[in-house]
C-alpha cells in the first residue's frame, strides 16, 4: 500500500466513544406460507490474480494518529461474542413522526395514490401517525429488566427522552410507563402465538395513545406487515398501479429484511418500491409527482425518506412497516429540488442538499411540526456540485458532503450551520487524488475518509496548528487531509461501514473489508459484477453457532470472517443478495440499464414483452408477475415491438433500422437474417389482422411493407415495397379489414396532417400503391388514430390532435362528423387504444385508453366532451413513451423511456362509470364548462345572442309577427359563435355545420336544419379552443412571416400583410378584406354587411392606408387592429428575480 502523509502538521488524537450503545438485533417474523425458491449460485473462491494488495504502511499508520483501538476493533478474533454482546444491549430509540405533518402530505399534490395507503388514511385518527420510537426487543430482555426495576441503560433513557419529546409535540401527557409497555408486549406475544408458533415476539409502540383512542396503523405496524396482505381490495380509482417492472439503477438499493425474508427497497420513477423477492410481492410508496432523485433509510430500517427534483419538489418520510407517509416537507428546495439526502443515526434529523445553481444544505427535525429547516447554509458553486451527504454516526451535529472535486465538513449548533471546505489538490501529496465518490466518518475516531476513482482513500482529521488563531482550532475549520492511501488500482465507487469495519466497492464489482486501521480483512472478487452502485447490509448481526461455513479472514490469525448478509446493486441494473454463511449468491433483480420504449402484449395470453436500448428483450407473465424468457441482442438497441394477431410471432425494430421477426415463445429468429432496409430507428410497426403483412415506419419517414409468402412449401417473409408517403414523421400505422371484404386495409397518419390509404391488393414487388391522401387537419397536428368501435351503424376513425381535440371521420368519405374537446391534463394525447371487448361486457359499453406526456387515462365512449367521462393519473413524470393493453382489457402497460420502467395498471370500469354519475346528467356537465355556470352572466348573454339570432334570421326591420322558437337555423351558428368570442375558420364552420346537419341522417334519412340551445352549448364547448384565444399564436405567426425591424421587434409591412391575407390560407377577396378592415377600424357600423345588408367600398383604400402604418408589429395588430385586450402580467414568486440587494427590487418576467 502506498501511503502519503502531510508532515507539516500533526493531527490531534482521536477519541473513542466507550459508552456507545450497540443496537440490538430485531427478531424478524417468519414468512407465513411457503417461500418461493430463489436462485442460488455457489460462489467461487477468489483467484490469485484477483487478490488485492494488502495496504502497507510507509510512514505513520492511522493507529499512531488515533487512540489505540481495543482488540475487538483491531481484528475479528471473537465475532460471535461481539455480536452476542451487541444483542444483550438495549437498542436505541427511533423517533416518532409528528401527527400534524401528515396533513400536508395528504393534499392534492398528485393524481396518483395507492388504494392501501388511502384506505389507512381514511381509517386513522389525527393522532394515527404516531410511530413506535423503539426497536422491538430481542427475546424480551429489555422488557424484563425494565419492568423489574433494574438499572436504566443509556439506550432506555434515550428512548424515554424521544418518547417524551414526541408526546409533548403531539400534546400528550408523556411517555408510557414501564408496566404499560410490558403489558403491551405481552399482548403482542399472545397475538403472535395465536397466529403462528414460529413468529418471534415483537415490541409494540412505546407511546400510549390518548385515552379512548385506538392504536394507529403506524404505531401498531410490524416489519413486513404490508407484504403480508395476500389479496388487496379493488381500488376506488379507475386505474391503480399494481406492479412496476424495472428500477432506477442510479440510486441505491436497500436491504430491508433478511434471513427468512428477502425484502429490498429501491426507486422506480416517482415511487419507492418495497419488494419481497421470495414471495414475489411489491408494495408501492406513491406520493411524489416528479421522479425521485434521492432516497435514504434509517439504521433500524423503519423510516424511509424520499425526495425529488420536480417543479414542486418535496421530501416525504414513510413508515417502512405500514407504508404510510408520516411527514412531508413541501418546497424544501424550490430552486431545483433535492439532489442528496441523509438521515441521522438516531433517526431524528434529515439533511438535504438542493440541486439549484447555488446549492443549499438544510437540516430538518422531521419529528416536529415545523415547516422550516433547523438551520441551512448556501454552498458556493466553486466547490462543485455536491451530490452526497452523510451524518457522523457518533454525533448528528456533524456532517460531511462532497462533489467530484471538493469535500465539505459541517457542524451545526442551534440555528447556525458552519461549514469548511479544506483544500486538497494533486500537489498536496504530489500524487493524483482522483474524482471523489463518497465520504464517511470514522466509526471510533475524529477522522473521515473519502474514496476516489483512482482507488485511493483520503484520510481527514482535525488538526491544531499552534501558529494559527484559536478560531481554526475547532471543527469543522480544523479538518485537513492528513493522508492519501493507495488501496487498489480500480476506482472506488461506494464506502460503507458495518460492525466496526470499513467496506469499499469498486468499478470491477469487488467488495473489500478493512478494519479501523485500514488493514485488509477479507474481499469478494468472484461475483463477476460490473460497477457497484450501492451495498446494504442486513439489520440483524450474524450470531452463528457453527462458523465453519464462513470465509477465512486475511489476518495472520486466519479466523473465520463473520459479516452480515448484504445486497449489492450495480450500474448494470443487477441486484444480488449475498448470504455470507457459505457465500451463497442469489439474483434479486436483473433489469434494463438503458431506456425502455418498446412494449407489446400478447393477443390471447397474459404475456408482455419489453425491450430496451441495452438490447435486453424480456417476456413477462403479468398475471403472476414473473419473467419467463429473455434474449440479449448484444450491441443493439430495441426501439419497438409488436405481436402478430395469432400471437405466434414477435417483431422487433431496432435503432439501427434492422427488423427481427422472432418466434414469440422461444425468441429465436423466425427468419434466418434480420431485414436491414432502414438506416434510422424503427419508430412504429404493426401486423395485419391476418398476419400476412408487417408494416414498419422509421425516422427517415419511410414506410416498409413486408409480406409472408409460400416458397417451396414454407412460409417466408420478404420485403414487398417501400415508400416515402409522408414528408413528416409517421405517427400511426393502422391496419384493418375492408368493409366489403376480408382483405386487409392499411392506412398511415403523419404529422404532415395527411391520412394515406394504400392498396395492398395491387401493390407488387418494389411498388406500394397509394389509393388516396386526405388532409384531415387544417392547423392542428394529429397525434394518433384508431378504429372507432361499432357503436353506431356508421364506421369512423377516431383521431386526437395537439389542440386537445378528438375527431371522428367517416371511413369512406373522410368527412369530419364530430369534434369534441378531449382530456386536457397538461399535454395532448400521444396515443389511444380502444379496450378489447370481452364476453361478459356489454358491446354498447366501450372504453378508450390513452397517454399524454406524463399521464395515463381512461375515457368512456361514445365521446361527447363530458369531462367526467375521463380520468387520468401520473404514470411517468419524466415522460411516457408507449401504451399497451392486455388481451382481456383488465390491465394497461406504460413504458417510461429514460426512467427504465414499465408499469402495470389495473382497470376498474365501475369506478369510472361512478364518476360520470356523480358529475351530473344531460347538460349539467356542459353548463359547468361555461364561465359562471348555468346561473352566470356568460350563459345569460348566450341566451340573448341565441334569441337575437332568431330576430336576424326573420329580419331586423320586418313588420311581420315574430315567431319565437327554441331553435335557430344552422346558418346562424357562425355569427353566434363569433359573438361569444370564438372565431372559427371557414373549415371549422363547415365541420360544425356538417356535424349538426348529418347527426340524424342514418336514422331518419333527413338532414337537420336547425339547432336548439342545449345542442348549441355542446357545439360551442367542444369546438372552441381548449384554452381560449392565445396571443402566442399571433406572435408565432409574425415570427414566421415577418422580419426584425430597427427596434428589434418582429414586424410585417402593410403591403405584405394585405397580400398574404388575399393569397394564403383561407384568403379574402379584395372586397371582403376591405369590408373587414374598415369595420374593425370603426369606419362601418358594427356588424358590417351582416347587420345592415349592404356595404359601400368607396374610399376604403385611402382609409386603410391612413389608419394602418406601413410597418405592423404583433402588438399593434392585436391591440389597434383586432382591438383585443392584452392581459395584465401577474407577479408570481417564480417570475420574480432579485437584481439588487435593495429590498423589493426585482425584475418581472412576463409570460403570455
What sign for the dihedral angle of Cα 518, 522, 525, 530?
Answer: negative
Note the pLDDT of residue 772. Answer: 94
Helix axes 1013-1023, 937-954, angle to 10 degrees: 110
Per the listing, cell 417564480 goes with: 1134
The model's pTM: 0.80
The CA distance from 539 to 521, in Å, is 21
The CA distance from 848 to 862, in Å, is 9
Residues 6+ apart with CB under 8 A from 357: 335, 336, 381
Q: Pairing between strand 511-514 and 271-276?
A: unpaired
Q: ω into residue 862 within 30 of 0, thus cis?
A: yes
Grid cell at residue 264: 429490498
The CA distance from 287 to 285, in Å, is 7
Beta bridge partners of 626: 621
The H helix count followed by the E strand count for the chain is 21, 64
3-state helix/strand/coil string of 650-674: EEEEECCCCEEEEECCCCCECCCCC
> CA 560 from chain center: how many Å?
45
Note the pLDDT of residue 505. Answer: 96
Q: ω into residue 476 within 30 of 0, thus cis?
A: yes
3-class secondary structure, 778: coil
The CA distance from 1020 to 1035, in Å, is 25
Q: Pairing between strand 855-860 and 40-42?
A: unpaired
Among residues 314, 304, 316, which one has the least CA distance to residue 337?
Answer: 314
Q: Is 277 exposed, middle or buried (0-12, 13-18, 19+ CB in 10 A)?
A: buried
Residues 6+ apart with CB under 8 A from 143: 137, 181, 182, 185, 203
Report yes or no: 879 and 310 within 8 Å, Cβ to Cβ: no
Report yes or no: 350 and 317 within 8 Å, Cβ to Cβ: yes
- Cβ-based neighbour number of residue 470 at 10 Å: 7
- For 942-948, which contacts have Cβ atoms below 8 Å and span 24 or more sequence positions? 942/976, 942/980, 942/1013, 942/1017, 942/1020, 943/1013, 945/976, 945/979, 945/980, 946/976, 946/1013, 946/1016
Residues 6+ apart with CB under 8 A from 1006: 1000
Which residues of the chain are modeled with pLDDT < 70?
A: 1-215, 229-234, 465-473, 956-959, 962, 964, 1086-1095, 1126-1152
Beta bridge partners of 724: none
SS3 content of the chain, % helix, strand, coil (to 5): 20, 30, 50
Among residues 435, 366, 446, which one has the least CA distance to residue 400?
Answer: 446
The CA distance from 217 to 130, in Å, is 9
Ordered DSSP codes for 466-486:
TTS-GGGGSTTTTEEEEEEEE
Report yes or no: 253 and 569 within 8 Å, Cβ to Cβ: yes
E strands, 9-73, are 40-42
Ordered DSSP codes for 270-324:
TEEEEEETTTTEEEEEE--SS-EEEEEE-TTS-EEEEEE-STT-EEEEEETTTTE
Per the listing, cell 395507503 goes with: 117
Q: In what order do the strands lie in the sheet with 456-462?
A: 2-5, 479-486, 456-462, 448-452, 436-441
Note the pLDDT of residue 1048. Answer: 86
Note the pLDDT of residue 467. Answer: 60
Report yes or no: 685 and 696 within 8 Å, Cβ to Cβ: yes
- Cβ-based neighbour number of residue 605 at 10 Å: 16
Amino acid at each position: 500500500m502506498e501511503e502519503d502523509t502531510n508532515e507539516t502538521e500533526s493531527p490531534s488524537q482521536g477519541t473513542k466513544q466507550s459508552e456507545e450503545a450497540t443496537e440490538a438485533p430485531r427478531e424478524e417474523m417468519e414468512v407465513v406460507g411457503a417461500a418461493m425458491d430463489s436462485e442460488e449460485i455457489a460462489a467461487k473462491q477468489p483467484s490469485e490474480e484477483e487478490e488485492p494488495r494488502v495496504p502497507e504502511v510507509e510512514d505513520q499508520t492511522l493507529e499512531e494518529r488515533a487512540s489505540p483501538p481495543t482488540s475487538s476493533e483491531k481484528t475479528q478474533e471473537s465475532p460471535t461474542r461481539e455480536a452476542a454482546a451487541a444483542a444483550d444491549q438495549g437498542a436505541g430509540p427511533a423517533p416518532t413522526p409528528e401527527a400534524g405533518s401528515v396533513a400536508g402530505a395528504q393534499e392534492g399534490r398528485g393524481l396518483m395514490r395507492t388504494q392501501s395507503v388511502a384506505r389507512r388514511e381514511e381509517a386513522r385518527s389525527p393522532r394515527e401517525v404516531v410511530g413506535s420510537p423503539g426497536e422491538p426487543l430481542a427475546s424480551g430482555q429489555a422488557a424484563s429488566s425494565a419492568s423489574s426495576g433494574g438499572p436504566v441503560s443509556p439506550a432506555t433513557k434515550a428512548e424515554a427522552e424521544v418518547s417524551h419529546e414526541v408526546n409533548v409535540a403531539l400534546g400528550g401527557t408523556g411517555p408510557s410507563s414501564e408496566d404499560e409497555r410490558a403489558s403491551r408486549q405481552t399482548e403482542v406475544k399472545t397475538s403472535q402465538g395465536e397466529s403462528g408458533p414460529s413468529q418471534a415476539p415483537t415490541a409494540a409502540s412505546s407511546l400510549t395513545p390518548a385515552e379512548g383512542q385506538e392504536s394507529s396503523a403506524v404505531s401498531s405496524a410490524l416489519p413486513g406487515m404490508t407484504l403480508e396482505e395476500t389479496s388487496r381490495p379493488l381500488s376506488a380509482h379507475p386505474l391503480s398501479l399494481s406492479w412496476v417492472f424495472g428500477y432506477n439503477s442510479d440510486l441505491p438499493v436497500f436491504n430491508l429484511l433478511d434471513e427468512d425474508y428477502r425484502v429490498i427497497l429501491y426507486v422506480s420513477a416517482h415511487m419507492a418500491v418495497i419488494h419481497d423477492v421470495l414471495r414475489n410481492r411489491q408494495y408501492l410508496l406513491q406520493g411524489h409527482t416528479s421522479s425521485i432523485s434521492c432516497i435514504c433509510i434509517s439504521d433500524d430500517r423503519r423510516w424511509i425518506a424520499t425526495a425529488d427534483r420536480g417543479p414542486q419538489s418535496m421530501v416525504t418520510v414513510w413508515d417502512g412497516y405500514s407504508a404510510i407517509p408520516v411527514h412531508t416537507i413541501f418546497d424544501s428546495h424550490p430552486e431545483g429540488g433535492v439532489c442528496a439526502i441523509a438521515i441521522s443515526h438516531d433517526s431524528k434529523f434529515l439533511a438535504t442538499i438542493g440541486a439549484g445553481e447555488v446549492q443549499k444544505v438544510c437540516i430538518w427535525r422531521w419529528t416536529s411540526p415545523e415547516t422550516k429547516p433547523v438551520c441551512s447554509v448556501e454552498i458556493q458553486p466553486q466547490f462543485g456540485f455536491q451530490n452526497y451527504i452523510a451524518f457522523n454516526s457518533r454525533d448528528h451535529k456533524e456532517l460531511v458532503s462532497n462533489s467530484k472535486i471538493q469535500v465539505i465538513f459541517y457542524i451545526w449548533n442551534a440555528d447556525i450551520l458552519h461549514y469548511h471546505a479544506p483544500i486538497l489538490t494533486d500537489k498536496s501529496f504530489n500524487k493524483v487524488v482522483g474524482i471523489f465518490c463518497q465520504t464517511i466518518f470514522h466509526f471510533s475516531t475524529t477522522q473521515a475518509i473519502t474514496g476516489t476513482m483512482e482507488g485511493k482513500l483520503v484520510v481527514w482529521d482535525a488538526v491544531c496548528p499552534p501558529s494559527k488563531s484559536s478560531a481554526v482550532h475547532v471543527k469543522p475549520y480544523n479538518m485537513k487531509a492528513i493522508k492519501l492511501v493507495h488501496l487498489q488500482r480500480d476506482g472506488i465507487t461506494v464506502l460503507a461501514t458495518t460492525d466496526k469495519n470499513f467496506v469499499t466497492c469498486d468499478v470491477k464489482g469487488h467488495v473489500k473489508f478493512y478494519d479501523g486501521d485500514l488493514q485488509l480483512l477479507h474481499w469478494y472478487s468472484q461475483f463477476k459484477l460490473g460497477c457497484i452502485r450501492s451495498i446494504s447490509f442486513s439489520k440483524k448481526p450474524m450470531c452463528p453457532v457453527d462458523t465453519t461455513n464462513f470465509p477465512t479472514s486475511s489476518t495472520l490469525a486466519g479466523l473465520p470472517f463473520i459479516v452480515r448478509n448484504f445486497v449489492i446493486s450495480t450500474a448494470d441494473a443487477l441486484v444480488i443478495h449475498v448470504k455470507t454463511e457459505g457465500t451463497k449468491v442469489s439474483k434479486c433483480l436483473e433489469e434494463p440499464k438503458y431506456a425502455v420504449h418498446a412494449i407489446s402484449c400478447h393477443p390471447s395470453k397474459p404475456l408482455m414483452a419489453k425491450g430496451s436500448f441495452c438490447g435486453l428483450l424480456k417476456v413477462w407473465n403479468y398475471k403472476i408477475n414473473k419473467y419467463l424468457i429473455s434474449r440479449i441482442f448484444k450491441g443493439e438497441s430495441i426501439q419497438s415491438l409488436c405481436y402478430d394477431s395469432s400471437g405466434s410471432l414477435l417483431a422487433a425494430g431496432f435503432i439501427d433500422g434492422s427488423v427481427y421477426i422472432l418466434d414469440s415463445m422461444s425468441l429465436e429468429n423466425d427468419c434466418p437474417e434480420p431485414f436491414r432496409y432502414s438506416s434510422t430507428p424503427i419508430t412504429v410497426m404493426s401486423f395485419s389482422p391476418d398476419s400476412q403483412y408487417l408494416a414498419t415506419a422509421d425516422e427517415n419517414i419511410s414506410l416498409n411493407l413486408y409480406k409472408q409468402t409460400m416458397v417451396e412449401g414454407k412460409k417466408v417473409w420478404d420485403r414487398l415495397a417501400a415508400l416515402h408517403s409522408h414528408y413528416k414523421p409517421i405517427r400511426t400505422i393502422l391496419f384493418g379489414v375492408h368493409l366489403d371484404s376480408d382483405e386487409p386495409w392499411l392506412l398511415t397518419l403523419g404529422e404532415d396532417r395527411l391520412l394515406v390509404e394504400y392498396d395492398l391488393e395491387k401493390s407488387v414487388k418494389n411498388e406500394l400503391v397509394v389509393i388516396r391522401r386526405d388532409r384531415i387537419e387544417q392547423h392542428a397536428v394529429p397525434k394518433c388514430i384508431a378504429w372507432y368501435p361499432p357503436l353506431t351503424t356508421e364506421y369512423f376513425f377516431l383521431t386526437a390532435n395537439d389542440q386537445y381535440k378528438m375527431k371522428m371521420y367517416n371511413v369512406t368519405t373522410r368527412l369530419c362528423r364530430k369534434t369534441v374537446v378531449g382530456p386536457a391534463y397538461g399535454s395532448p394525447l400521444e396515443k389511444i387504444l380502444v379496450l378489447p371487448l370481452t364476453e361478459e361486457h356489454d358491446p354498447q359499453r366501450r372504453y378508450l385508453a390513452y397517454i399524454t406526456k406524463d399521464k395515463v387515462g381512461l375515457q368512456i365512449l361514445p365521446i361527447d366532451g363530458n369531462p367526467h367521462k375521463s380520468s387520468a393519473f401520473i404514470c411517468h413524470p419524466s415522460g411516457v413513451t408507449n401504451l399497451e393493453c392486455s388481451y382481456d382489457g383488465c390491465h394497461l402497460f406504460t413504458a417510461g423511456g429514460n426512467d427504465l420502467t414499465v408499469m402495470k395498471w389495473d382497470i376498474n370500469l365501475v369506478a369510472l362509470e361512478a364518476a360520470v354519475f356523480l358529475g351530473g346528467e344531460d347538460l349539467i356537465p356542459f353548463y359547468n364548462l361555461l364561465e359562471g355556470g348555468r346561473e352566470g352572466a356568460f350563459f345569460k348573454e348566450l341566451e340573448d345572442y341565441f334569441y337575437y339570432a332568431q330576430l336576424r334570421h326573420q329580419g331586423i326591420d320586418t313588420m311581420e309577427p315574430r315567431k319565437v322558437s327554441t331553435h335557430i337555423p344552422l346558418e346562424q351558428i357562425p355569427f353566434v359563435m363569433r359573438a361569444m368570442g370564438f372565431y372559427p375558420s371557414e373549415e371549422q364552420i363547415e365541420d360544425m355545420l356538417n356535424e349538426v346537419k348529418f347527426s340524424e341522417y342514418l336514422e331518419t334519412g333527413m338532414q337537420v336544419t336547425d339547432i336548439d340551445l342545449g345542442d348549441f352549448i355542446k357545439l360551442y364547448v367542444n369546438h372552441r379552443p381548449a384554452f381560449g384565444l392565445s396571443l402566442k399564436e399571433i406572435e408565432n405567426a409574425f415570427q414566421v412571416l415577418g422580419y426584425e425591424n430597427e427596434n428589434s421587434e418582429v414586424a410585417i409591412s402593410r403591403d405584405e400583410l394585405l397580400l398574404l391575407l388575399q393569397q394564403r390560407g383561407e384568403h379574402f377577396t379584395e372586397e371582403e378584406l376591405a369590408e373587414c378592415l374598415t369595420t374593425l377600424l370603426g369606419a362601418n357600423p358594427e356588424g358590417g354587411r351582416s347587420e345592415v345588408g349592404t356595404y359601400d367600398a368607396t374610399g376604403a383604400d385611402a382609409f386603410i392606408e391612413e389608419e394602418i402604418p406601413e410597418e405592423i408589429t404583433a402588438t399593434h395588430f392585436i391591440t389597434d387592429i383586432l382591438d383585443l385586450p392584452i392581459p395584465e402580467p401577474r407577479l408570481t414568486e417564480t417570475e420574480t428575480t432579485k437584481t439588487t440587494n435593495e429590498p423589493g427590487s426585482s425584475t418581472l418576467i412576463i409570460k403570455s
